Structure 1
Amino acid sequence: MKKQRREIHASVKDERLVKMRRNQMIKGAIALFKQKGFHRTTTREIAKAAGFSIGTLYEYIRSKEDILYLVCDSIYDEVKDRLEQDLASHQGTLKSLRYGIENFFRVMDSVQEEVLVMYQEAKSLSKDALPYVLEKEIDMVSMLEDVIQLVVDKGELCMTTKEVKLWAHNVVVQGQMWGFRRWTIQKQYTLDEYIEMQTDWIFAGLKGFYVKEAEGRV
């Protein structure tokens, strides 16, 4: 059963204005969380970074944790939207699967700062908020599962449901590693080199699941 999106109270009733102000907060908060972390950042600093007063800030949220929740929610929504745009054209072929994996890595590169902030600070979310944010991570994995499953359904791969799920998790971890270990990896490889090597290794591991090679094990 999916967790419901947490309701963030706002005293302002104009939904367009609420969305605009919260986007300003999210942008300012991400920059501050990168520098100082969630606990050392004050709501007054977030308000200043967003371009308005502390009083105005509290018209759109009730607590600093609300801002962290909005940050995490926004990051996952951005990743999901970008992946959906590019995965929509997939035709269930191994070639399209490679394209999907490569694109996922590029999306992870473009939001690596935000993803790092989210993983570092999500632990500060309350018990009622954290499960919803973690579920969005599973949703992202599920998108890659669907791409792999489509290749299975089209007859180019022979994999069980459990194998599809684990491969999707592997792809997510490899994509996130570009940001998580950037202190060393990005000094040794360009993004294109990293993507090429990782996708080659992923597909080398998939060879045992190509229909002809897999016929002997099913």
Structure 2
Amino acid sequence: MVSDPRLVEERRRQIILAAVELFSEEGYHTTTIQQIARKAGTSTGLIYQYFGDKEDVLFLTLKLVIDSYENEIPPHLEGVSHPVERLCKALAAYCSIVDRLRDATVLAYRSTMSLRAERRSLIKDGETRTNQLIEGCVRACTSAGFMRPVNEHLLAYQYVMFAHSWALKHWSYRNRYTLEEYVAEGTQLLVEPFLTAKGHLVLASLRAAEESAASPPVC
């Protein structure tokens, strides 16, 4: 009902952010459209110009999360050709996106089952595409001999769960690790043990380059 695409996206995002906060605090089933309208600083009638019902709000909220994973990881890999570096950057990017969308990531775990079956399938399809991207990074490492043969599908899911865990268990992690420290620990736990000798050499080289870039210049 609203013709300006930019206004549509801006209003939807405003409403979705309000909904994420309320769904997270009050629960999806308890939250009302009226509460979302108040939190978003708009009217109930205006919300219905952008969403058909409360389930539409939830669906587009969860789709925003899944689309962010799928669309924002690839730009971090542009210009990165080495398989080990691509895998490490994909894991770091995934964790960074989850950090920005912590409440919405937790909401996806809590409330996906509240969607109708066909919408749950769309959310699962989106997650599967991101998982396949991560799996492709693993496969490139094993194919080139930088990582020993592994169950690529299962290992990719471990990376996915590790990234999601930053949101799911943030109450515990936040006082122990920065995001950067968490990613570094994840690399040690989930990447290093599977590397071959030449894979370890590459990772050591990448770390040396990062440390050099982070060191202040010597006058």
Q: Find 2:36's aligned residue among 28, 46, 49.
A: 46
User: What amino acid sits opposite 2:14 in the alignment?
Assistant: Q
Q: Find 1:92's aligned residue among 57, 82, 95.
A: 82
* Shift in Å, 1:155: 4.1
Question: 1:59-117 deviations in whole A, cap 9, x for unaligned?
Answer: 22111000000100111112222211102233133233223322322222222221011
* Shift in Å, 1:48: 2.2
Partner of 2:187: 199
Q: Find 1:30's aligned residue among 20, 27, 39.
A: 20
CA distance in 1: counterparts of 2:158 and 2:16, whole angstroms? 29
Partner of 2:173: 185
Structure 2: state its 5+ residue gaps: 200-219
* Shift in Å, 1:194: 2.0
CA distance in 2: counterparts of 1:129 and 1:66, whole angstroms? 10
Partner of 1:3: none
Is contact 1:92-1:154 (8 Å) kept?
no
* Shift in Å, 1:172: 0.6
Superposition pairs of residues 147-186 of structure 1, within 5 angstroms: 147-159=137-149, 163-186=151-174
User: What amino acid sits opposite 1:165 in the alignment?
Assistant: H
Cα RMSD (Å) of the superposition?
2.3
CA distance in 2: counterparts of 1:209 and 1:114, whole angstroms? 39
CA distance in 1: counterparts of 2:86 and 2:58, whole angstroms? 35
Is contact 1:109-1:178 (8 Å) kept?
yes
Structure 1: state its 5+ residue gaps: 1-10, 212-218
Structure 1 segments of 4+ aligned residues over 6 angstroms from their partners: none
CA distance in 2: counterparts of 1:171 and 1:22, whole angstroms? 31
Shift in CA distance, 28/122, structure 1 to aligned 2, threshold 3 Å: same
Question: 1:36-79 deviations in whole A, cap 9, x for unaligned?
Answer: 11111110111222232111111221110000001001111122
Partner of 2:49: 59
Partner of 2:105: 115
* Shift in Å, 1:195: 1.7
TM-score, normalised on structure 2? 0.81
CA distance in 1: counterparts of 2:198 and 2:149, whole angstroms? 9
Question: 1:138-165 deviations in whole A, cap 9, x for unaligned?
Answer: 11111111222233344433536xx221
> What SS does structure 1 have at the residue aligned with 2:59?
helix
Is contact 1:158-1:209 (8 Å) kept?
no
> What SS does structure 1 have at the residue aligned with 2:81?
coil
TM-score, normalised on structure 1? 0.81
